[in-house]
Amino acid sequence: MSAALAVTDLVAGYDPGVPIVNGASLTVAAGEIVAVLGPNGAGKSTLIKAIAGVTPVQSGSVFLGEEDITRLPAHRMVRHGLAFVPQTENIFTGLSVEDNLLLAAGILKPTERAGRIAEIYRFFPDLARQRRLAAGRLSGGQRQMAAIARALIVAPRVLMLDEPSAGLSPKLVEGVFARLAEIRAHGVAIVLVEQNARAALAIADRGLILVEGRERHEGRASELWGDPRVAELYLGGVRA
Amino acid sequence: MIGFASYAFFFLTTALSYAIICLGLNLQWGQTGLFNVGVAGFVGIGAYASALLTTPATDAHLMGWGLPIAAGWLGAMLVSGTASALIGFATLRLRSDYLAITTFGVAVTIHLIALNAQRLTGGPYGIAFIPRPFNEVADRPLLFNGLNLALVAALTFVLYIASERLVRSPWGRVLRAIREDERAAASLGKSPSLYRLQAFALGGAVMGLGGALQAHFIGFIAPDNYLSSLTFLVWTMLIIGGSGNNRGAILGGVLVWALWSASGVAIGAIVPAEQQARAAALKIVAVGVFLALALLLRPRGLIGERTVVSRHLDE
Amino acid sequence: MNLQFLADGILTGAMIGLGAIGVTLTYSILRFANFAHGEFIAWGAYLALGVASASGWLVAGAAIPIGPLSFGWGLVLALLIAMPLTGLLALALDWALFARLRDKASSITVVMASFGASMALRNLLEFLFTSRPAYFSRELQIAIRLGWGVRVTADQLALVALTAILVISLNLVLSRTQIGRSMRAVSENRALARVAGVDVDHVVRVTWLIGGALACASGVMIGLVVQIRPFMGFDMLLPLFAAAILGGIGSIPGALMGGLVVGIAEALSAATVGAEWRAAAAFVLLIGILLIRPAGLFGARE
C-alpha cells in the first residue's frame, strides 16, 4: 500500500544555517493516525509547518501519494488534498462560522460548495447551530471543532493538526480526539503533533518521537507508550 | 579664486547644516527605527523658534526679543525637542505607521501655522533680519563665510562625537536592541516606549538646531522653505549615506546637497526661464526614483551600519 | 445657525471617505500606510480629464451637460475608463516597488518607499501638466435651496449618490463574494488565509485595483467641485489618514464615517475659524483619536 503522505529526510527552518527540522522522515497511510511527540523545541510544529508549506524547506521531499508537493506554496497544498490546522489563531475570528467554511470551500467548484458545507454541518451539529456567530465568540472547544471543520471542507487526503488539545479541558480533548478517530474512519490520513502524549497515543496507530529535529524512536502507539526510553525523554532524562 | 573659495565655504556651511539634520534623523531612524515623515516640520519649528527669539522687536510678527544667537539656538532645540516629545508621547506606543502619519500631520500643520498665523510668524512674508553670526565681518565675504563654516563644522563635529558616544553607551545599545527585537528588550525590564521617546525627542532637538542654523546663515525664512520636499531631501541624504551610521549621515548630507545644488545650477543655466518650474519638478521625480532604487538595490547606503548589535539581548 | 457647513462637509466627507477606503484596505491587507495613495487621486483625476477631453474631440456632444448637471456623458465614460486605469497604476507601482520590498524589508521601509513614490508621482504630474489648475467643466450651476439656508448644486447631489452606490457595492462584494471573504481573511490573518487555500497575491492585486479605482472616483469628484491640480491628492493625504484611523483600520463603513466626520469638521472649522485653517481640522482629529481611542471610533478589533 502506498503511503498517503511520505516525508523523506526533511530539513527546514527560517534560517538556512540553523535548521530546526534536521533530516526527519515520516509516512502516514490512509486511515491511520500518526502522533508526532517529543520534548519542547524538538521541531514538531516546524515539521508539519514545513510539510504544509508554511516554513521554508531546505532539502528533502514531501510526497502526497504519487505527487511531489515539496515546496509548493501553502495555498496550493490544500488543492492537492493536504489540510493543516495551526495550533493558535486557527480560525478567522472576525468572520462568521459559515464564512470561515465558505472561505475554505473557495477551492471547490461553486456547485459543490453548499453540499459540502451541509455535510460538514451534519458532522459538527454544534457548528450548524452557531453558523451566524462570529467565530471569535465560540468557546474554546467549539473553536477547535470549527478549525477542524474548516480544514475538512476540502475533503483532504491528509489532515495535519498542531496540538489540538492545547488549552482545552480533558473532557473537551476527549471530544476532539473522538472526532479525529471518526475522521480516520473515513479514510483520512492524520498527522497529530502533541504535547499531550497520553491522549495522543491513546488514539494514534503509530507514534514518532522527534528529538533535535529528527525522529529518535518510532513504533506502534501501544509499544511506545510502554517503552521506558520514551518515558525517560518526557521525564527530562535527555536534554531537550 | 577668492570668489570661488568663498562660495565653497558657503556651500559647505549649508551642506553641513543638512548633515546636522541628518544626524538628528539618524538618531530617530538609524538607531531607533522611528520613521519621521515630518522632518520639515521639526526643522521649521527650530528655525522659527530661533528667529522669533533673536530678531529685533518689530510690528511684522510677535516676540522679536533680540536675544543672542546662542540663546536662539538653545531655544530652537528646546522647542523642537518638546514638540517631538509631545508627538512621541501620543504615538510611540502605537504601530510604527501611526508615528509616520502623525509626523506627516505635524509638517502639514506647522506649514499651515507658519503661513496663516501671521501675527506670530509673519505669514507668507516670513521673517527677515534674523541676525547672522559674525555679521560684523559680513563685508569681507571670505572671512565671513570661513568663520561661519568653522562654526558649523565645529558644531557638526561636536554632534558627531556626542552621537557616536551615545551609540556606544548602554543607552544606545538598548535603543538598538529595541529596534531589533522589542519584546526581548522589554523582557529585560527596559521600557521601549520611554527609550524611543527619548531618542525621538533628542533627534527632534538636533533637527531643530539644524533648522535654526540654516535660518541664521541665510538671515531670512518663509513658510515654503519647510515643505515635504525638504523632508524628502533629508531622507534621501540619510538613505544614500547609510542609515545607522553617523559618518554616513554626514557624508550623505554633503554629497546629496552637492548633487542637488549642482543640478539646480545646471537647470538655471540650461533650461529656459518659463520651463524652470517643470525642470525642478522633474528633478524631484529623479530624486524620488533614485531613493526608490537605493531602497531596492542598496538599502544599507554608501556606509552601512557596522554590526554592533548586542547579541546578548537576542536570547 | 446656518447649516450650509453640514452640506459642504458631507460632500467633502464623501470624497475623503472614498479615498480613505483605499487607504484602509491597503493598510489592513498589505500592512502599511501608503503615502502614495493621494497620488492615485490626482492621477485618477488627470486620467479622467484625458479621457473626457479625448471623447470631446472624437464625438460631438460628449461634453453637452446632462440635464441640470454641469458635465456631459463624456465625463461619465471617462470615469468608467479612468477607474480601472488608476487601479492598474496602483498595481504597476506595487509590482515595480512595494512587492519587491515587502518580502525582504521591514514594513516601515515600504512606507518610506511609498513616500518617495508619492513625491515622484506628484512631481511627474507637475512636470506634465504644470501647476496650473484644470477643470472638467466651466458650466455654472444654479444651486437648489433645501431650506435652513442650505444650498446645493445638482452636481453635488449626484456625487453624493455616486459615493453611496460605490460604498454599498463594495460592502456587498466584501460580505457576499468569495474574493470579499478572502480579503477579510487576509486582513485578519495572512498566514492562516494561505493555509486555508487563499491565493494572497491575487487578493493583493484585487485590493490595489479597488483602492485605485475608488481613489480615481474621489479625484474626479474633487475635480468637479473644486479643481484639478497636481497637489490635489497630496492635500487630501492627511484627511485620508485621519478618516481611516477614525473609522478603525480595516473597516469600510468606518472609513466612510471617518471621512464624513473629517469632512464636516473641516467645513465647520472653515465656517467658524476661517477657511485657511480647514486643513488643521484633520490633524486635530487625528491627534485626538490617537490619544483617546487609537482603535478608531467604529473599529471592532484592536
Contacting partners of chain C (3+ CB pairs under 8 A): A, B
What is the average per-residue pLDDT within B196-222? 90
- Closest chain B CA to residue C93: B292
C294 CB neighbours in chain B (<8 A) are 94, 98
- B255 and chain C: CB distance < 8 Å anywhere? no
Predicted pLDDT at B313 = 37
State the residue for C-alpha cell 457576499: C176
Alpha carbon distance B185, B176 (integer Å): 9
Helix-then-strand count for chain C, H and E: 12, 2
What is the average per-residue pLDDT within A58-78? 91
CB atoms C238 and B291 under 8 Å: no
Q: Whole-number mean pLDDT of chain C?
A: 89
C290 CB neighbours in chain B (<8 A) are 90-91, 94, 98, 102
* Least trusted range by pLDDT, from A47-56, A102-111, B216-225, C290-299: C290-299
Checking if the pLDDT of A25 tops 60, the result is: yes
Checking phi first, is residue A38 left (phi over 0); if not, alpha (psi -120 to 50) or beta?
A: left
Alpha carbon distance C197, A88 (integer Å): 18
The shortest C-alpha distance from C276 to chain A (Å) reads 42
- C288 and chain B: CB distance < 8 Å anywhere? no
The shortest C-alpha distance from C184 to chain A (Å) reads 8
The two beta strands, A206-211 and A214-220, are: antiparallel
Confidence of residue C206 (pLDDT cuts 50, 70, 90): very high
- The one-character DSSP state at A213 is T
Predicted pLDDT at C295 = 82
- C189 and chain A: CB distance < 8 Å anywhere? yes
- Please report which helix (H) or strand (E) contains residue B113, including its range: helix B96-116
Confidence of residue C301 (pLDDT cuts 50, 70, 90): very low
Contacting partners of chain B (3+ CB pairs under 8 A): C
Could you tell me the fold of the domain covering C4-292? Answer: ABC transporter involved in vitamin B12 uptake, BtuC (1.10.3470)
Helix-then-strand count for chain B, H and E: 12, 0
- C200 and chain A: CB distance < 8 Å anywhere? yes
CB atoms A92 and C192 under 8 Å: yes
Alpha carbon distance C53, C47 (integer Å): 10
Confidence of residue B311 (pLDDT cuts 50, 70, 90): very low
Checking if the pLDDT of C107 tops 90, the result is: no
Checking if the pLDDT of C37 tops 80, the result is: yes
Alpha carbon distance C237, C282 (integer Å): 10
B38 CB neighbours in chain C (<8 A) are none
Confidence of residue C302 (pLDDT cuts 50, 70, 90): very low
What is the average per-residue pLDDT within C246-262? 91
Alpha carbon distance B219, C206 (integer Å): 52
What is the average per-residue pLDDT within B58-62? 72
Predicted pLDDT at A236 = 45
Does the A5-234 domain belong in CATH 3.40.50.300?
yes
Within 5-44 of C, beta carbons closer than 8 Å to B belong to 27, 32-33, 35
The shortest C-alpha distance from C251 to chain A (Å) reads 11
For C1, other C-beta atoms within 10 Å of its C-beta total 8
Strands of chain C, DSSP E: 144-147, 150-152
Within 54-83 of B, beta carbons closer than 8 Å to C belong to none
* Least trusted range by pLDDT, from A9-18, A117-126, A135-144, A219-228: A219-228
Write out the three cell numbers for A206.
503509530
CB atoms B97 and C108 under 8 Å: yes
CB atoms C188 and A93 under 8 Å: yes
- B105 and chain C: CB distance < 8 Å anywhere? yes
- C280 and chain B: CB distance < 8 Å anywhere? yes
The shortest C-alpha distance from B99 to chain C (Å) reads 10
B236 CB neighbours in chain C (<8 A) are 116
Percent residues over pLDDT 90 in chain C = 57
State the residue for C-alpha cell 531596492: B296
Predicted pLDDT at A136 = 92
Checking if the pLDDT of B115 tops 50, the result is: yes
Checking if the pLDDT of C130 tops 70, the result is: yes
- Sheet with A206-211, strands from edge to edge, namely A82-85, A158-162, A189-193, A33-37, A206-211, A214-220
Checking if the pLDDT of C42 tops 60, the result is: yes
Which among B123, B167, B154 has a CA at the least distance from the CA of B12? Answer: B154
- Enumerate the domain spans of chain C: 4-292
A103 CB neighbours in chain C (<8 A) are 178, 181-182, 185, 193, 196, 198
Confidence of residue C78 (pLDDT cuts 50, 70, 90): very high
C199: Cα separation from own chain's centroid: 26
What is the average per-residue pLDDT within B57-72? 76
Summarize pLDDT for B280-310 with one digit per residue, the tens. Answer: 888 888 888 888 888 888 777 777 665 544 3
- Are residues B76 and B52 in contact, defined by beta-carbon separation less than 8 angstroms? no
Checking if the pLDDT of C142 tops 90, the result is: no
Alpha carbon distance B192, B174 (integer Å): 9
Q: Is C234 helix (H, G, I), strand (E, B) or coil?
A: helix
Q: Which residue has the higher pLDDT, B245 or B2?
A: B245
Alpha carbon distance A59, A70 (integer Å): 9
- C302 and chain B: CB distance < 8 Å anywhere? no
CB atoms A75 and C192 under 8 Å: no
Checking if the pLDDT of A153 tops 80, the result is: yes
CB atoms A102 and C181 under 8 Å: yes
Checking if the pLDDT of B101 tops 60, the result is: yes
Predicted pLDDT at C192 = 94
The Cα diameter of chain B in Å comes to 62
Summarize pLDDT for B120-162 with one digit per residue, the tens. Answer: 887 888 887 888 887 777 778 788 888 888 888 989 999 888 8
Q: Is C69 helix (H, G, I), strand (E, B) or coil?
A: coil
- Are residues B190 and B177 in contact, defined by beta-carbon separation less than 8 angstroms? yes
Checking if the pLDDT of B181 tops 80, the result is: no
Predicted pLDDT at C105 = 72
CB atoms B112 and C237 under 8 Å: no
The shortest C-alpha distance from A229 to chain C (Å) reads 36
